[in-house]
C-alpha cells in the first residue's frame, strides 16, 4: 500500500507540475465561460444558460477528449523521456505503476470536473439563471459528458503512448479523437456498423439543441454509452499490459491480468448487447420519417377526400385511464363507459398504431378485437345497450408525442387513448411546399366532438401536468374534449386568468406574447368573416417541434388548450410575440387545424399566403402566372390578379368567400 501511495503521489505530483496541461484546461474553461457568456446573453440582458451549456458542451466534450488523449501519451512516455524508465523497472512496484497513473489521472479529471462545475454553476448564478435550480442535472451531465470521456481518453492515450513509441502517434491521436466525437461517421465508410459509431461517440448523438422542456436530463443510455468507452479503454489497458509484461509476471499476476481484461471485455460486450445506444424514443428524425412513410402508404390506399372517416355508432360516457410510464413506453388500462345507439356489431375506435391492445374485456367476459393500422375494432356483445369495456394497452406515441424517461408530451388531439370513431390520424404531405412555406402538421386534430368525463392516474417518477384538474399526486379528473399529459422540467403559474405550464426559464415570457396573439387572431377572424376565438385558458409550452415529426407550427390549438412550441422561446428570444402573431402561423393554427379536417393540407398554406399578400404586403404576384400544384390554383390566381389590378376590396371579399367555401367542403363530409 505504501508503494502504491508513493507511486500515486509521484504521478500526481508530475501531473500537477505540468503547467501546460493545466493551461490547456484553463483555456478550455475560459473559452467555455467567456464565449458562452458573451454570445448567449440576449439583447434584453437575459442569459440562455441551457442553450449555452448544451451547445458549448457539444464542442467542449471534444476538447476534454483531446486533452485526455494527449495527457495519456504524456503520462505513458514520461519515464522514457526522462531516461528514468530503466530505474523504474528495476524497482519494486513496477507492475503497480499503470494503476497509480490511472488514479493520478482520475484526480486530474476530478479537479477539472470540479472546476467545470463551479464555472458552469457560477455563471448561472451570476446571470441569475433559472437553470440553477436544476444544478444536480447540470453536474450529472458534466460527469457523464465531460468527466467519463476525459477519464477514458486519458487511459486510451496511455495505452497508445505505450504501444506506439514513434511520433506518428500524434496523427493517430487525431484519428482516435475523431472516432470518439460526433464526427465519427467516416467509420461507416469502412462498412463498420452504425451502432459502433454511436457507441464510440462520446459527444451528443444528435445535434444538441437544448430542449428546455426536458432540461438537461442525462438518461441511462448516455451513461452506458460513456461507460462503454471506459470499459473499452480499461480492457485495452489490460491487453496492452499483457502484451508487454506477460513474460515477466508470476502466474498469479498473469491470471489476474487475464481475468481483468476478459472481465472488462465481457462487460463491454454485455452492454453492447443489452443497451441500444440510441433508443428510438430519442430519435425524432427516425420517428418522424417512419410515420411519414406510414401515412403516405395509408393515403395511397385511401386518398385524401375519399371519406375515410366515420362517426361512431356509440357514445363514450366516461374514460378512466390508469397509466404506467416505463421509460420510452407506457402501458395503461382504459375503462370506457359505452352507450350504443341502435344495433351495433363492432365498436370502432381510432388508436395510434404504436399502441397495441393486449386484452379487451367487458366485466369478466373477454371481447374479440381487431387492430388494423390506427383502427381498433372491438366486438360488442349485441344484447347489451351499455357497459364498461376494459382495455389493456401497451405502446408509445411514435412521432405524435414525446415519451421518454425524462419527459412526456401526449396531446389531447392525438389518439394515444382509444378515440371513438374512425378517423384519419395524420396526412402526409411532402411535395414542394407552396410559396416556400412550411410543410403542414402531420397529425390531425382528433379532439372529441363532445366533451367527455376523464379520470386519469399516472404512475411515473415525473411530476405530471394535465388540462384536467388535479385531484391527487399525478391523478386528474374532469370533463374535456381530450386529455393532455405533460411532464418534464416544468413549472406552473396563473397569470391574468390563464394557467401556464412551462419550463422555468420561459414561464415569465409567456404572458408577454398573449396580447399580440389575441389581437392577431381577432383581426384574422374579422377579415375572413368568421367567428373569432379567445385564447384558451390552459397554455402549455411543449416540445411541439420535436414531438410531431418536426413538421409543425409554433402552436396548436385545442378546445381549452393552447400548446406553444418551446423552441420559439429560444430562437426568437425577445421577439417571440411578433413571430407568433404572423398570419402564416395564426391562420392555419386557429382557422384550420382547430378542429378535425380531412383535407388537402395545402389549403391552409395557400390561404395564409394569399392573406399575407393582401393584408401584410408580401409579394406573391409572380406566382399569378405560374402553374401551381393543386386544385386551388384557379381561386388563388383570381384573388392575386384582383390584387394586382388594384381591386383590393374585391380581392378581400373573394378571399373571405374562398375561405368559407373551402372550410365547408374540406371536412370529410362530416359537417352536416
Partner 1 sequence: MGRRMTFPPLWLDLRTMGWNFSFPLVAHLGIVLYLYLGQGGRVGMLTEKTILGTIGLWSPLLITFWIVGLYQDWFESDGKEALLALPYKSWAFGIGRVLRTTALYGFFVWGITRLLFLFSSDRGVSQMWWTILAASILFFAALAFFTVALTRRLVFTYMLVAVFSLGEWVRVYSTSLRVGYSVPSDRTVAFNPFQAASPLPGANPLRVALILFIVSLLLLFLGQLFVNRREYLLK
Partner 2 sequence: MIIQIERVKKAFKKKTALEDVTLTLKPGIFGLLGPNGAGKTTLMRILATIFRPDRGSITADGIDWTRDAHRVRTMLGYLPQDFGVFRNVTAREVLVYIGTLKGVARDQLKHQVNAVLDAVNLTTHADKKVGTFSGGMRRRLGIAQALLGDPKLIVIDEPTAGLDPEERVRFRLLLRRLAQEERVVILSTHIVGDVEAVCDQLAVIKKGKAHLFASPEELAKVADGQIWRWVGDIRDYALLEEKYRIVSSVSRGSTMEARILSDTQPSEAVEPVAPTLEEGYLAWVGE
Kindly state the number of chain residues that form the binding site for partner 2, as judged by CB under 8 A. Answer: 26
Q: Residue 40: which of partner 1, partner 2, none does it interact with, CB under 5 to 8 A by kind?
A: partner 1
Q: Residue 91: which of partner 2, partner 1, none does it interact with, CB under 5 to 8 A by kind?
A: partner 2
- Least distance in angstroms from the C-beta of 249 to partner 2: 9
Rounded-to-integer distance, Cα 68 and Cα 542, Å: 38
Stretch that binds partner 2, among 3-11, 227-235, 276-284, 627-635 (CB under 8 A): 3-11
Q: Residue 254: which of partner 1, partner 2, none does it interact with, CB under 5 to 8 A by kind?
A: none
Contact in structure between 525 and 410 (CB atoms under 8 Å): no
- Least distance in angstroms from the C-beta of 58 to partner 1: 9
Residue 396 three-state SS: coil
Q: What is the sign of the dihedral through the CA atoms of 116, 117, 122 and 123?
A: positive
Rounded-to-integer distance, Cα 248 and Cα 253, Å: 9
Rounded-to-integer distance, Cα 467 and Cα 490, Å: 14
Based on CB atoms, which residue is closest to partner 2, 104 or 620? Answer: 104
Based on CB atoms, which residue is closest to partner 1, 39 or 125? Answer: 39
Based on CB atoms, which residue is closest to partner 2, 207 or 251? Answer: 251
Based on CB atoms, which residue is closest to partner 2, 91 or 206? Answer: 91
Rounded-to-integer distance, Cα 187 and Cα 328, Å: 29
* The one among 35, 82, 175, 270 contacting partner 2 by CB under 8 A: 82
18 contributes a contact to partner 2 by CB under 8 A: yes
Q: Residue 93: which of partner 1, partner 2, none does it interact with, CB under 5 to 8 A by kind?
A: partner 2
* The one among 43, 90, 436, 534 contacting partner 2 by CB under 8 A: 90
* The one among 13, 244, 293, 384 contacting partner 2 by CB under 8 A: 13
Based on CB atoms, which residue is closest to partner 1, 207 or 251? Answer: 207
Based on CB atoms, which residue is closest to partner 2, 83 or 191? Answer: 83
Residues near 283 by Cβ (< 8 Å), separated by ≥ 6?
Answer: 206
Residues near 392 by Cβ (< 8 Å), separated by ≥ 6?
Answer: 331, 332, 333, 357, 358, 359, 360
Residue 53 burial (CB count, 10 A):
25
Stretch that binds partner 2, among 26-34, 47-55, 91-99, 520-528 (CB under 8 A): 91-99
Q: Are strands 452-459 and 314-326 parallel, antiparallel or unpaired?
A: parallel
Which grid cell is 567? 423552441
Q: Residue 7: which of partner 1, partner 2, none does it interact with, CB under 5 to 8 A by kind?
A: partner 2
Stretch that binds partner 2, among 2-10, 41-49, 117-125, 297-305 (CB under 8 A): 2-10
- Least distance in angstroms from the C-beta of 211 to partner 1: 16
Based on CB atoms, which residue is closest to partner 1, 22 or 346? Answer: 22
Give the DSSP H or E segment for 409: strand 408-410
- Least distance in angstroms from the C-beta of 196 to partner 1: 18
Among candidates 560, 376, 401, which has minimal Cα distance to 481? 560
Stretch that binds partner 2, among 5-13, 377-385, 515-523, 612-620 (CB under 8 A): 5-13
- Least distance in angstroms from the C-beta of 167 to partner 2: 19
Q: Residue 408: which of partner 2, partner 1, none does it interact with, CB under 5 to 8 A by kind?
A: none
- By CB neighbour count within 10 A (0-12 exposed, 13-18 middle, 19+ buried), where does 503 fall? buried
Which grid cell is 64? 476534454
- Least distance in angstroms from the C-beta of 86 to partner 1: 15
* The one among 49, 53, 60, 78 contacting partner 2 by CB under 8 A: 78
Q: Residue 92: which of partner 2, partner 1, none does it interact with, CB under 5 to 8 A by kind?
A: partner 2
Rounded-to-integer distance, Cα 420 and Cα 337, Å: 11
10 contributes a contact to partner 2 by CB under 8 A: yes
Which grid cell is 393? 394497452
Distances from the Cα of 555 to the Cα of 134, 563, 582, 588, angstroms: 27, 5, 12, 10
Q: Residue 492: which of partner 2, partner 1, none does it interact with, CB under 5 to 8 A by kind?
A: none
Among candidates 201, 57, 73, 60, which has minimal Cα distance to 137? 57
Residue 350 three-state SS: strand
Distances from the Cα of 375 to the Cα of 400, 417, 516, angstroms: 16, 12, 40
Based on CB atoms, which residue is closest to partner 1, 26 or 110? Answer: 26
Based on CB atoms, which residue is closest to partner 1, 28 or 148? Answer: 28
Residues between 140 and 199 that touch partner 2 (CB under 8 A) = none
Q: Are strands 498-502 and 538-542 parallel, antiparallel or unpaired?
A: parallel
- Least distance in angstroms from the C-beta of 92 to partner 2: 4
Site map 245..284 versus partner 2, x via CB under 8 A: --xx-x----------------------------------
Binding residues for partner 1, rule: CB under 8 A, are 20-21, 23-24, 27-28, 30-32, 35-36, 38-40, 42-43, 55-56, 59-60, 62-63, 66-67, 70-71, 73-74, 77, 81, 166-168, 170-171, 173-174, 186, 189, 571-575
Q: Residue 56: which of partner 2, partner 1, none does it interact with, CB under 5 to 8 A by kind?
A: partner 1
Rounded-to-integer distance, Cα 216 and Cα 61, Å: 15
Q: Residue 183: which of partner 2, partner 1, none does it interact with, CB under 5 to 8 A by kind?
A: none
- Least distance in angstroms from the C-beta of 44 to partner 1: 10
- Least distance in angstroms from the C-beta of 504 to partner 1: 20
Enumerate the H helices of 127-219 as residue ranges: 135-142, 148-163, 169-179, 194-200
Among candidates 638, 578, 575, which has minimal Cα distance to 606? 638
* The one among 23, 26, 35, 87 contacting partner 2 by CB under 8 A: 87
Rounded-to-integer distance, Cα 52 and Cα 209, Å: 10
Q: Residue 24: which of partner 2, partner 1, none does it interact with, CB under 5 to 8 A by kind?
A: partner 1
Q: Residue 31: which of partner 2, partner 1, none does it interact with, CB under 5 to 8 A by kind?
A: partner 1
Contact in structure between 226 and 152 (CB atoms under 8 Å): yes
Contact in structure between 426 and 420 (CB atoms under 8 Å): no
Residue 499 three-state SS: strand
Q: Residue 189: which of partner 1, partner 2, none does it interact with, CB under 5 to 8 A by kind?
A: partner 1
* The one among 27, 39, 42, 84 contacting partner 2 by CB under 8 A: 84
* The one among 26, 30, 86, 293 contacting partner 2 by CB under 8 A: 86
- By CB neighbour count within 10 A (0-12 exposed, 13-18 middle, 19+ buried), where does 297 fall? exposed
242 contributes a contact to partner 2 by CB under 8 A: no
Which grid cell is 492? 406552473
365 contributes a contact to partner 2 by CB under 8 A: no
- Per DSSP, 275 falls in state -
Q: Are strands 498-502 and 475-480 parallel, antiparallel or unpaired?
A: unpaired
Residue 380 three-state SS: coil
**Where are the strands (E) in 43-110, listed by range?**
none
Rounded-to-integer distance, Cα 139 and Cα 145, Å: 10
Contacts with partner 2, residue ranges (CB under 8 A):
2-3, 5-7, 9-10, 13-14, 17-18, 78, 82-84, 86-87, 89-94, 247-248, 250
Amino acid at each position: 500500500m505504501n508503494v502504491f501511495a508513493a507511486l500515486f503521489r509521484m504521478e500526481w505530483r508530475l501531473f500537477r507540475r505540468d503547467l501546460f496541461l493545466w493551461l490547456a484546461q484553463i483555456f478550455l474553461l475560459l473559452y467555455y465561460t467567456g464565449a458562452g457568456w458573451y454570445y448567449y446573453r440576449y439583447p434584453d440582458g437575459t442569459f440562455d444558460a441551457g442553450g449555452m451549456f448544451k451547445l458549448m458542451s457539444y464542442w467542449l466534450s471534444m476538447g476534454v477528449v483531446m486533452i485526455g488523449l494527449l495527457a495519456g501519451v504524456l503520462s505513458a512516455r514520461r519515464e522514457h523521456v526522462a531516461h528514468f524508465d530503466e530505474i523504474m523497472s528495476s524497482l519494486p512496484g513496477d507492475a503497480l505503476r499503470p494503476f497509480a497513473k490511472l488514479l493520478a489521472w482520475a484526480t486530474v479529471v476530478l479537479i477539472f470536473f470540479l472546476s467545470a462545475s463551479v464555472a458552469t454553476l457560477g455563471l448561472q448564478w451570476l446571470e441569475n439563471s433559472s437553470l440553477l435550480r436544476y444544478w444536480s442535472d447540470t453536474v450529472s451531465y458534466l460527469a457523464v459528458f465531460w468527466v467519463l470521456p476525459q477519464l477514458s481518453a486519458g487511459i486510451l492515450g496511455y495505452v497508445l503512448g505505450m504501444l506506439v513509441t514513434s511520433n506518428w502517434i500524434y496523427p493517430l491521436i487525431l484519428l482516435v479523437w475523431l472516432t470518439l466525437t460526433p464526427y465519427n461517421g467516416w467509420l461507416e465508410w469502412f462498412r463498420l456498423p452504425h451502432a459502433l459509431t454511436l457507441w464510440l461517440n462520446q459527444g451528443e448523438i444528435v445535434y444538441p439543441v437544448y430542449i428546455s422542456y426536458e432540461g438537461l436530463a442525462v438518461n441511462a443510455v448516455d451513461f452506458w454509452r460513456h461507460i462503454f468507452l471506459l470499459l473499452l479503454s480499461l480492457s485495452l489497458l489490460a491487453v496492452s499490459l499483457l502484451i508487454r509484461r506477460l513474460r515477466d509476471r508470476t502466474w498469479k499476476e498473469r491470471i489476474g491480468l487475464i481475468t481483468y481484461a476478459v472481465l472488462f471485455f465481457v462487460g463491454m460486450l454485455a452492454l453492447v448487447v443489452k443497451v441500444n445506444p440510441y433508443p428510438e424514443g430519442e430519435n425524432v428524425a427516425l420517428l418522424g420519417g417512419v410515420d411519414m412513410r406510414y401515412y403516405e402508404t395509408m393515403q395511397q390506399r385511401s386518398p385524401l377526400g375519399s371519406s375515410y372517416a366515420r362517426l361512431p355508432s356509440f357514445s363514450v360516457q366516461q374514460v378512466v385511464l390508469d397509466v404506467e410510464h416505463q421509460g420510452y413506453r407506457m402501458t395503461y388500462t382504459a375503462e370506457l363507459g359505452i352507450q350504443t345507439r341502435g344495433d351495433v356489431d363492432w365498436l370502432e375506435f381510432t388508436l395510434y398504431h404504436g399502441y397495441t391492445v393486449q386484452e379487451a374485456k367487458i366485466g369478466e367476459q373477454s371481447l374479440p378485437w381487431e387492430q388494423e393500422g390506427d383502427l381498433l375494432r372491438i366486438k360488442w356483445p349485441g344484447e347489451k345497450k351499455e357497459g364498461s369495456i376494459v382495455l389493456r394497452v401497451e405502446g408509445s406515441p411514435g412521432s405524435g408525442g414525446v415519451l421518454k424517461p425524462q419527459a412526456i408530451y401526449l396531446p389531447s388531439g392525438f389518439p394515444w387513448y382509444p378515440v371513438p370513431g374512425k378517423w384519419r390520424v395524420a396526412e402526409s404531405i411532402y411535395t414542394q411546399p407552396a410559396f416556400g412555406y412550411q410543410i403542414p402538421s402531420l397529425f390531425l386534430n382528433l379532439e372529441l366532438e363532445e366533451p367527455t368525463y376523464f379520470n386519469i392516474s399516472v404512475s411515473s417518477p415525473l411530476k405530471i401536468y394535465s388540462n384536467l384538474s388535479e385531484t391527487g399526486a399525478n391523478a386528474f379528473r374532469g370533463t374535456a374534449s381530450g386529455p393532455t399529459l405533460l411532464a418534464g422540467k416544468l413549472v406552473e403559474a396563473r397569470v391574468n386568468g390563464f394557467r401556464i405550464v412551462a419550463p422555468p426559464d420561459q414561464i415569465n415570457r409567456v404572458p408577454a406574447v398573449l396580447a399580440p396573439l389575441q389581437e392577431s387572431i381577432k383581426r384574422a377572424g374579422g377579415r375572413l368573416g368568421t367567428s373569432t376565438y379567445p385564447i384558451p385558458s390552459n397554455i402549455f409550452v411543449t416540445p411541439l417541434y420535436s414531438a410531431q415529426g418536426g413538421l409543425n407550427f409554433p402552436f396548436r390549438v385545442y378546445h381549452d388548450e393552447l400548446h406553444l412550441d418551446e423552441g420559439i422561446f429560444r430562437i426568437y428570444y425577445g421577439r417571440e410575440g411578433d413571430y407568433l402573431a404572423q398570419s402564416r402561423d395564426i391562420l392555419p393554427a386557429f382557422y384550420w387545424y382547430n378542429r378535425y379536417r380531412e383535407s388537402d393540407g395545402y389549403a391552409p398554406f395557400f390561404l395564409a399566403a394569399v392573406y399575407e399578400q393582401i393584408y401584410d404586403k408580401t409579394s406573391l404576384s409572380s406566382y399569378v402566372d405560374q402553374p401551381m400544384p393543386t386544385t386551388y390554383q384557379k381561386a388563388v390566381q383570381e384573388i392575386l390578379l384582383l390584387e394586382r389590378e388594384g381591386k383590393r376590396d374585391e380581392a378581400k371579399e373573394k378571399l373571405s368567400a374562398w375561405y368559407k367555401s373551402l372550410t365547408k367542403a374540406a371536412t370529410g363530409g362530416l359537417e352536416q
